Amino acid sequence: MNYPIRILPNINYKSISCDLSRHYLVRFTPHKDILDQGTGLIKQEFVCNQREHAADLSVSLLGVFEIEHIKIELTEIGKSKYGTYCTPDETVEVPIFEQDFKRNDDRHFWAVLVENIMESKIDYTGSEDPFTAECVIEHSPMKWNFWHFSIRWKIEDGYWHEFPDGKKRKVAKRIGHDVRATIAKFAQISEPYYEELDKAHYTK
């Protein structure tokens, strides 16, 4: 299997900062049956494994990165070589099949429209220790995937995942809960219709 070179960083690429509202974000799940039979919504355990992941949720932007690319799984060697952040125009060697990556057909996915997450602000102003938080979809390219993004949350004091532990724990529980709820509400497990991002937004 050849690695899809189109999803690698490229010397001609730049950081993406345009409006992504009408685009979809996708994240892999290790199971196929992730919907609750009663509600039809994604079970919270399949949104992300641990509360800490909700602070900085790794996803990919659908477009050049296709649903099929969800099947790519880095090996332990591959993780050490390609599992780190990089610049958009980083020069990266093409990963080698079975050495750096493998195909895992047991990987499935959920996808969510960016607009639905961006509009779902977190508001705890009616509670003790009040705060509000806004979703920030940040382009965070990695050596294995230029189209890697991070769903992060910014409150008035800054990015909450950078807080000291005491305050971080309380905010973490609340934001983690809201993230799971929002994803469960809006995510879908069927492949959405998606288009590639205009080249002007990611090429120099």
Partner 1 sequence: MELAKDQNTELLRAIKWHFVSGTTQIVSTGPTVYCVGDNENPFLNSLSFIYRSSFNLPNTTREISSSDKDFIKFEARFIAQYQKLEEHYGKSDFALVKRNFSESLSELLKLKPDTLSLELTPDKSVYFTLLKGKYSVFIQHYLDVSDSDDDEAILSAFRENEKLPSFAGRLSDTLSELRKILFSPIEGKSWSPRYELSY
Chain positions contacting partner 1, by CB under 8 A:
36, 38-39, 41, 43-45, 50-51, 116, 119-128, 169-170, 173-174, 177-178, 180-182, 184-186
45 vs 106, beta carbon nearer partner 1? 45
Nearest to partner 1 of 2, 37 (CB atom): 37
21 or 84: CB nearest partner 1? 21
Q: Cβ 124 to partner 1, closest distance in Å?
A: 5
CB 192 → partner 1: shortest distance, Å? 16
**SS3 of 134, please?**
strand
Long-range contacts of 172-176 (CB under 8 A, 24+ apart): 172/51, 172/52, 172/54, 172/55, 173/51, 174/122, 174/124, 175/54, 175/55, 175/122, 175/133, 176/51, 176/52, 176/54, 176/55
Alpha helices in the chain (DSSP H): 51-55, 76-82, 114-118, 165-186
Question: Rounded to the nearest whole angstrom, what is the least distance from the CB of residue 160 to partner 1 in the complex?
Answer: 14
In terms of CB distance, is 151 or 184 closer to partner 1?
184
CB of 50 to partner 1, least distance (A): 8
Closer residue to partner 1 in complex, CB, 154/177: 177
Q: For residue 52, what are the contacts with CB-CB under 8 A and spacing of at least 6?
A: 172, 176
Cα–Cα distance for residue pair 20/171, rounded to 1 Å: 27
- Closest contact distance (angstroms) between CB of 156 and partner 1 is 16
